[in-house]
């Protein structure tokens, strides 16, 4: 038996297929989010890895911003619950999860059973999100995947004082025209993301072990800056962008097991 979790985010679509032993048999990430062909592309990719299609899937749970529009799902669940559950599976002792996605930042408390506790989120503004970093990478004529490499070469991070994406973009352009190095500008951007995220995390309270999830957790520059800002180590599991899809697949597996025990 196999189950499927799909996380249709604002920026990227992620799929995880599990067998009944909770082993990942296929995963896919497509950098296109809700309202695009991203979900279909990620599904095609995952099904071709798995060697079967919908006929081989016992149950599907959808999560993420675009979950309500995904008709093939047996159930929709909030990304908060799915990130908590997915992280608990990957790092069982994580108690604070900081999820920076394309469009929002969330800080969650996870119980020792993997259930979601309290949470805080910033969803009203792009500042400090993946979108903010995507815009900055474009201005600096680089890719988001390169930001951590540039950050590691910084000597003296510049200061970015604006919290608004549009004003921060103007500040970055001013730093560029003043001749500041790209690594120093990138490191300054990461510090500004870290300060904003740390403020949110402190509102919830930082309980160790702290872990990051979501696409931005792949940026080691942000992880290092946030770890310095909060003064705690931050763990990042492998294939971290799939955490929400994995959590959705684990909830799908619970449902499939319940269905089976009723038969």
**Where do contacts with ligand ADP occur on this chain (CB under 6 A)?**
9-12, 33, 64, 101-103, 130-131, 133-134, 144-145, 214-216, 218-219, 241
Cβ nearer to ligand ADP, comparing 132 with 256: 132
Preceding peptide of 209 cis, ω within 30°: yes
Cβ nearer to ligand ADP, comparing 160 with 256: 160
Cβ nearer to ligand ADP, comparing 4 with 256: 4
Shortest distance, position 133 Cβ to ligand ADP, whole Å: 4
* Rounded Cα gap, residues 23 and 61, in angstroms: 17
* Rounded Cα gap, residues 225 and 222, in angstroms: 5
* Rounded Cα gap, residues 213 and 235, in angstroms: 9
Cβ nearer to ligand ADP, comparing 31 with 49: 31
Shortest distance, position 255 Cβ to ligand ADP, whole Å: 22
Shortest distance, position 262 Cβ to ligand ADP, whole Å: 33
Shortest distance, position 207 Cβ to ligand ADP, whole Å: 22
Shortest distance, position 129 Cβ to ligand ADP, whole Å: 7
Which letter does DSSP use for residue 23 in this model? -
* Rounded Cα gap, residues 119 and 217, in angstroms: 18
* Rounded Cα gap, residues 74 and 79, in angstroms: 16
* Rounded Cα gap, residues 16 and 60, in angstroms: 10
Place of tokens 């990461």: 190
Cβ nearer to ligand ADP, comparing 104 with 184: 104
């Amino acid at each position: 038996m196999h189950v499927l979790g799909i996380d249709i985010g604002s920026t990227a679509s992620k799929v995880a297929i599990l067998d009944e032993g909770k082993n990942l048999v296929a995963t896919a990430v497509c950098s296109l989010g809700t309202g695009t062909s991203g979900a279909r592309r990620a599904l095609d990719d995952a099904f071709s890895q798995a060697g079967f299609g919908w006929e081989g899937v016992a149950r599907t749970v959808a999560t993420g911003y675009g979950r309500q529009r995904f008709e093939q799902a047996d159930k929709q669940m909030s990304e908060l619950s799915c990130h908590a559950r997915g992280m608990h599976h990957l790092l069982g002792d994580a108690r604070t999860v900081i999820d920076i996605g394309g469009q929002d930042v969330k800080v969650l408390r996870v119980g020792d059973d993997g259930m979601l506790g309290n949470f805080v989120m910033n969803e009203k503004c792009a500042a400090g999100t993946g979108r903010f970093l995507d815009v900055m990478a474009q201005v600096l004529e680089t890719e988001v995947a390169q930001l951590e490499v540039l950050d590691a070469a910084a000597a003296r991070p510049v200061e970015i004082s604006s919290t608004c994406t549009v004003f921060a973009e103007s500040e970055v352009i001013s730093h560029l025209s003043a001749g500041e190095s790209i690594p120093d500008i990138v490191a300054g951007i990461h510090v500004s993301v870290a300060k904003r995220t740390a403020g949110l995390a402190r509102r919830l309270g930082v309980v160790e072990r702290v872990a990051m999830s979501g696409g931005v957790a792949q940026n080691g520059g942000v992880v290092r800056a946030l770890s310095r800002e909060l003064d705690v180590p931050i763990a990042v599991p492998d294939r971290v962008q799939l955490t929400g899809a994995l959590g959705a697949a684990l909830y799908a597996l619970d449902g499939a097991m319940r269905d089976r025990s009723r038969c």
